[in-house]
């Protein structure tokens, strides 16, 4: 590319630009590798303060399973809680609100309920073609970015449908950039006995979840980095 | 798993069919077929109640008496009451319906919808059938399953437990063990 001795100014600029680009790209790759390989270590120090928690709800059976988990979760450690469901899902947020209302009733009026409920654009409807899904997933990602900036969760709980992928991808991106290190916990649905769902597979392959839980031993054998926890339902 | 005597004066034995929020015409048609209805009546069931969801096939109502009484509805906010008063449940393969029924200790036949693409639901139904917690059928084979079933051979389902997951999550985050 260079003419003659390479002493021309434009020649020097293009060399240094090239070098800079290589350095930056290398740094980015190193950072990505670091987060993927070492980002899932458990926290060394003990958690003492409650953690901002984001709960991603899916339709139908997914919500039932998540609520089952939330019932036994220590609420004082995971608060304030933010619930996100797909915009087309009418029932899930209602069910979550019911759970939160029952909590307040149990604790008496002293505990002020800080739970918040939001909707997100869905990346893919059941049966939607994969081609149009690319576009809708992009919109969902932008919406997810907006919500994540608002909430900045420290813990993300999700269990299944495509609704959680944009959220987890953004959380992973934040990790890359060093913004808000959120721990992502994914519980694969009890309906998945022999194969992971698409969401689960994405999170597993790209190591986006800090812990990926499966409910059947067959899945643990097939995906060794997953953690078998038995049946939740 | 059989009805307890004295629960209902009229010895009403209801078969409750549910398709959840889906459309599952093949199941509703199969259940509404003379063969299956006759088989159920022969086995001592008196009423058939069908929750048909978004399906387009409408069953024929019937008063019953010398045959099975048939009724149907599309949706309800909670099917818990219907599940509770049923003597037999025939359900689509949605995990919500399956576990809600199993946790109530009701005998269950799960029917897999073969028209669904990527039928991962059948994995769960087959696994639970292997463990003898329920019967698994297809709409075409439903009458055979009803004829051959032995509800006393079903193994009761013990509900799962979410606390192992919470323990692991807490430990990962560095919270002290309870």
User: Taking CB atoms and an 8 Å limit, are B162 and A197 in contact across chains?
Assistant: no
Residue A221: Cβ within 10 Å count: 12
Task: Answer whether A187's CB lies under 8 Å from A202's CB.
Answer: no
Asked if residue A151 has pLDDT above 70, the reply is yes
**B8 pLDDT tier (thresholds 50, 70, 90):** very low
Per-residue model confidence (pLDDT) at position B92: 95
Least confident of A5-19, A88-102, A156-170: A5-19
**A160 pLDDT tier (thresholds 50, 70, 90):** confident
Q: Count contacts between A and B (CB, < 8 Å).
A: 100
Please indicate, yes or no, if residue B15 is contained in any of the structural domains. Answer: yes
Please indicate, yes or no, if residue B109 is contained in any of the structural domains. Answer: yes
List all residues of chain B from 76 to 115 with a beta carbon under 8 Å from chain A.
Answer: 94-96, 99-100, 103
The better pLDDT of the pair A56, A45 is held by: A56
CA–chain centroid gap for B95, Å, is 11
Query: DSSP assignment of chain A, as one string?
Result: ---TTS-SHHHHHHHHHHHHHHHHHHHHHHHHHHHHHHTTSPPSSPP-S---EEEE--STHHHHHHHHHHHHS-TTTS-SEEEEEETT--HHHHHHHHHHHHHHHHH-TTS----EEEEE--S--TT--HHHHHHHHHHHHHHHHHHHHHH--SEEEE-SSTTHHHHHHHHHHHHHHTS---EEEEE--TT-SSS--HHHHHHHHTT-SSEEEESSHHHHHHSTTSEE-----
- Is the ipTM of this structure higher than 0.85? no
Please indicate, yes or no, if residue B50 is contained in any of the structural domains. Answer: yes
Please indicate, yes or no, if residue B69 is contained in any of the structural domains. Answer: yes
Please indicate, yes or no, if residue B178 is contained in any of the structural domains. Answer: no
Please indicate, yes or no, if residue B142 is contained in any of the structural domains. Answer: yes
Average of per-residue pLDDT across A227-233: 94
User: Taking CB atoms and an 8 Å limit, are A216 and B127 in contact across chains?
Assistant: yes
The better pLDDT of the pair A127, B63 is held by: B63
Average of per-residue pLDDT across B61-83: 92
Average of per-residue pLDDT across A48-56: 91
Per-residue model confidence (pLDDT) at position B131: 96
User: Taking CB atoms and an 8 Å limit, are A215 and B160 in contact across chains?
Assistant: yes
Q: Which residues of B41-69 are buried (b: 16+ CB within 10 A; e: fewer)?
A: beeebbbbbbbbbebeeebeeeeeeeebb
Per-residue model confidence (pLDDT) at position B136: 96
Residue A191: Cβ within 10 Å count: 26
Please indicate, yes or no, if residue B56 is contained in any of the structural domains. Answer: yes
DSSP 8-state symbol, B21: T
Per-residue model confidence (pLDDT) at position B118: 67
Domain containing B114 equals 2-173
Per-residue model confidence (pLDDT) at position B63: 93
Average of per-residue pLDDT across B90-112: 94
**A95 pLDDT tier (thresholds 50, 70, 90):** confident
User: What total number of domains does chain B contain?
Assistant: 1
Average of per-residue pLDDT across A193-208: 92
Which residues in chain B have Cβ-Cβ distances shorter than 8 Å to A77? 170, 175
Q: Does B161 touch chain A (CB under 8 A)?
A: yes
Asked if residue B99 has pLDDT above 80, the reply is yes
Asked if residue B140 has pLDDT above 90, the reply is yes
Q: Does B177 touch chain A (CB under 8 A)?
A: no
A61-72 vs A91-107: helix crossing angle, rounded to 10:
20
User: How many Cα atoms within 13 Å fall on the side-chain side of residue B108?
Assistant: 31
Please indicate, yes or no, if residue B140 is contained in any of the structural domains. Answer: yes
Per-residue model confidence (pLDDT) at position B117: 66
Asked if residue B153 has pLDDT above 90, the reply is yes
Q: Does B117 touch chain A (CB under 8 A)?
A: yes
For a pLDDT cut of 90, what percent of chain A falls above it?
Answer: 37
Asked if residue B3 has pLDDT above 60, the reply is no
Asked if residue A51 has pLDDT above 90, the reply is yes
Asked if residue A98 has pLDDT above 60, the reply is yes
**A113 pLDDT tier (thresholds 50, 70, 90):** confident
Q: What is the mean pLDDT of chain B?
A: 91
Tell which residue, A53, A58, A98, has the closest CA to residue A75: A53
Considering CB atoms only, which of B95, B163, B169 is closest to A185?
Answer: B169
Q: What is the mean pLDDT of chain A?
A: 84
Asked if residue A209 has pLDDT above 80, the reply is yes
**A44 pLDDT tier (thresholds 50, 70, 90):** low
For a pLDDT cut of 70, what percent of chain B falls above it?
Answer: 93
Least confident of A54-58, A132-136, A191-195, B39-43: A132-136
Per-residue model confidence (pLDDT) at position A45: 56
The better pLDDT of the pair A61, B95 is held by: B95
Q: How far is A135 from chain B (nearest CA, A)?
A: 22
Considering CB atoms only, which of B94, B117, B127 is closest to A60?
Answer: B94
User: Taking CB atoms and an 8 Å limit, are A45 and B174 in contact across chains?
Assistant: yes
Tell which residue, B95, B113, B109, B114, has the closest CA to residue B144: B109
CATH of the domain at B120: 3.40.50.2000
Helix (H, G, I), strand (E, B) or coil at B117: coil
């Amino acid at each position: 590319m260079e003419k003659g001795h390479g002493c021309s100014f434009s020649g020097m600029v293009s060399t240094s630009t090239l070098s800079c680009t290589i350095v930056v790209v290398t740094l980015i790759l190193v950072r990505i590798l670091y987060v993927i390989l070492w980002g899932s270590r458990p926290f060394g120090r003990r958690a003492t303060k409650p953690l901002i928690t984001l709960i991603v709800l899916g339709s139908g059976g997914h919500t039932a399973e998540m609520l089952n988990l939330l019932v036994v979760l220590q609420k004082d450690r995971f608060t304030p809680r933010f619930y996100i469901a797909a915009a087309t899902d009418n029932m899930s947020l209602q069910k979550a609100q019911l759970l939160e209302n029952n909590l307040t009733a149990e604790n008496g009026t002293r505990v002020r309920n800080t739970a918040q409920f939001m909707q997100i654009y869905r990346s893919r409807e059941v049966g939607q073609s994969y081609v149009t899904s690319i576009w809708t997933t992009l919109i969902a990602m932008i919406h997810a970015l907006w919500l994540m900036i608002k909430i900045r969760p420290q813990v993300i709980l999700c269990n299944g449908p495509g609704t959680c992928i944009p959220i987890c991808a953004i959380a992973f991106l934040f990790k890359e950039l060093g913004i808000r290190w959120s721990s992502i916990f994914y519980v694969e649905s009890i309906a998945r006995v022999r194969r992971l769902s698409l969401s689960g597979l994405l999170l597993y392959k790209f190591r986006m979840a800090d812990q990926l839980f499966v409910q059947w031993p067959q899945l643990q054998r097939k995906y060794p980095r997953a953690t078998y926890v038995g049946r939740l339902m | 798993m059989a009805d307890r005597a004295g629960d209902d004066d009229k010895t009403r034995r209801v078969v409750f069919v549910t398709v959840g929020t889906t459309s599952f015409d093949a199941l509703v048609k199969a259940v509404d077929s003379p063969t299956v209805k006759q088989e159920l009546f022969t086995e001592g069931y008196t009423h058939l109640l069908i929750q048909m969801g978004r399906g387009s096939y409408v069953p024929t109502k019937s008063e019953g008496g010398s045959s099975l009484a048939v009724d149907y509805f599309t949706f309800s906010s909670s099917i818990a009451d219907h599940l509770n008063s049923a003597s037999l449940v025939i359900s689509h393969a949605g995990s919500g319906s399956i576990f809600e029924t199993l946790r109530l200790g009701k005998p269950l036949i799960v029917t897999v919808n073969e028209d669904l693409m990527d039928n991962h639901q059948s994995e769960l139904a087959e696994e639970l059938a292997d463990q003898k917690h329920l019967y698994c059928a297809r709409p075409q084979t439903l009458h055979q399953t009803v004829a051959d079933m032995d509800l006393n051979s079903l193994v009761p389902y013990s509900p799962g437990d979410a606390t192992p997951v919470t323990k692991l999550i807490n430990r990962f985050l560095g919270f002290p063990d309870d």
